[in-house]
Amino acid sequence: MSRERFLEFVRFCFVGGLSLIVDYAVLYSLTEWAGMYYLHSSAISFGVSVVFNYWLCVQYVFKGAKKQTTRQAIIFFSTGVVGLGLNQLCMWFFVDVAGVHYLIAKLGATVIVTAWNYVTKRKVVKG
C-alpha cells in the first residue's frame, strides 16, 4: 500500500468515525426519545450518515478526486442503498435473532458495512 493510499484510508476511517457518531446520535435519539422502532430509526440514521459521509468523502477523504457529477452522486448513493440493506439485515439478525442490544448490534453492522463502503465509494469518487 502506497503512502498516499494509506493516508487516504486513515482519512476514510476518521470520516467514518464522525459519520458513526452522527449515525448513533440519530439512532439513539429517534429510538429512545421519539419512541421509534429501532429498524425504522436505524434506516433514517443510516441515511443521514450517508449524506454526511458523502460530503466529507468528496471534500476531504479522496483528495484529487475528479469533479463530482450527478452520475457519480447517484452511483455513490446507490451503493449506500446496498449498504443500508446490509445494515438493516445485520441489525435485524443481531437484535432479533441473536438478542443483542440495538446499540451494540450497530457496532457489528458498522464493521460489515464499512468494508463495503470503502471499496465501492472509493471507486465511485476516484472515478
Q: What is the pLDDT of residues 59-115, one digit of tens each?
A: 888 766 666 678 777 877 788 889 999 999 999 999 999 999 999 999 999 989 888
Q: Which domain holds residue 40?
A: 3-126
Whether 60 and 125 have beta carbons less than 8 Å apart is answered as no
pLDDT digits (tens, 9 = 90+) for 33-67: 999 999 999 999 999 998 898 888 888 887 666 66
- Main-chain dihedrals φ then ψ at residue 41, nearest 5 degrees: -65, -30
Model confidence, pTM:
0.82
Residue with cell 476514510: 12
What are the angstrom distances between the C-alpha of 20 and each of 48, 66, 110? 10, 26, 8
Tell me what percent of the chain is helix, strand and coil, each rounded to the nearest 5: 85, 0, 15
pLDDT of residue 73: 77
Grid coordinates standing for 103? 446499540
Answer positive or negative: Cα dihedral of 11, 12, 13, 14.
positive
pLDDT of residue 98: 98
Question: Confidence band (pLDDT; 50, 70, 90) for 21?
Answer: very high
16 alpha-carbon distance from chain centroid: 7
* Overall domain count for the chain: 1
